[in-house]
Amino acid sequence: MTELLNSVSAYFQQLPWLELVAMVLSIAYVILAAKGSRWCWPAAFISTALYTVIFYDVLLLMDSALNAYYLLMAVYGYWQWSKQPDQNQNESSQLTIVSWQLSWHIKVCAALALLAMGLGYLMDNYSPAHFPYLDTFTTVYAVFATYLVANKVLENWLYWIVIDLASIYLYLEKGLIPTTVLFIVFVIVAGYGYHKWLKLYQKSSTNLQPSAIANTR
C-alpha cells in the first residue's frame, strides 16, 4: 500500500504543470462554448498559446501549427459572438445557430481529405514530425471545425467528436496523459454541445418562417 501511494505521489510530482493549466483552460473553453458564452474564447486563447509550445516540444508539428491558428480564431470567435448577448446573460437571447446541408459537408470532407493526404505526405518526407498523416488529418479537420464553431454551425460538434477520438490515440502514443484525459472529456462535452445546440436550433427554427431560417447551405 505504501509503495502504491509513493508511486501515485511520484506520478503527480512529475506531471507537467503547464500542460495541466492548458488542459483546465481547454475544458473551460468547450463547456462555455457548449453553453453559448463568448467567454469561451479568452480561455481558448490562453490554452492554445500554451499548447502551441507543448506540441512543438514533442514534435507534433501540425498540432503546434493548429494551435497557433486557434489563437487567431479565438480573437475572431470572440468578435463574432460579441455581436449577440451571451445566452447565460439573457435567457431570451439565444445563439443564432445554423445548420448546413449534408451534401455540402460531404463535399467539404472530401476536399479536406485530399488536402490532408497532400500535407501528410510533405510532413512525412520533409519534416521530423511524428505520426505525420494522423496528425495532419486531425489538424486539417480541426481548422475547419473551429471555423464552424466561430460561425455557430450546429454540425461542428459532430466533427469534434471524430477529431477528438482520433486525437486520444495520438496523445496516448506520445505519453501526453493529461491531454489524453482532456480529449476524453472533450468527446463527452461535444456530445452535450451537439444536444444543446440542436435544441436551440430547433427552437429558433419553429419561431421563423421557412424562408427566414438562417443559412442552410
Q: Distance (Å, rounded) from C-alpha 44 to C-alpha 71? A: 8
Query: Is residue 109 one of the residues assigned to a domain?
Result: yes
Q: Distance (Å, rounded) from C-alpha 127 to C-alpha 152? A: 35
Query: Is residue 90 one of the residues assigned to a domain?
Result: no
17-63: per-residue pLDDT in tens? Answer: 787 888 889 889 889 988 888 899 999 999 998 888 888 887 777 77
Specify the pLDDT at position 217.
Answer: 59
Q: Which one, of 49, 51, 88, 102, lies nearest residue 72 by Cα?
A: 49
**213, pLDDT greater than 50:** no
Query: Is residue 178 one of the residues assigned to a domain?
Result: yes
Query: Is residue 7 one of the residues assigned to a domain?
Result: no
Query: Is residue 48 one of the residues assigned to a domain?
Result: yes
Q: Which one, of 164, 155, 158, lies nearest residue 182 by Cα?
A: 164
Query: Is residue 217 one of the residues assigned to a domain?
Result: no
> Bigger pLDDT: 91 or 38?
38
> Bigger pLDDT: 108 or 175?
108
27: containing domain: 17-84+95-212
Query: Is residue 30 one of the residues assigned to a domain?
Result: yes
Confirm if 94 and 36 have CB atoms less than 8 A apart. Answer: yes
Percent of the residues in the chain that have a pLDDT greater than 90, as a whole number? 37
The reply to whether the predicted model has a pTM over 0.85 is no
Q: How many domains does the chain have?
A: 1
Query: Is residue 10 one of the residues assigned to a domain?
Result: no
| 191 three-state secondary structure | helix
> For 188-202, what is the mean pLDDT?
92
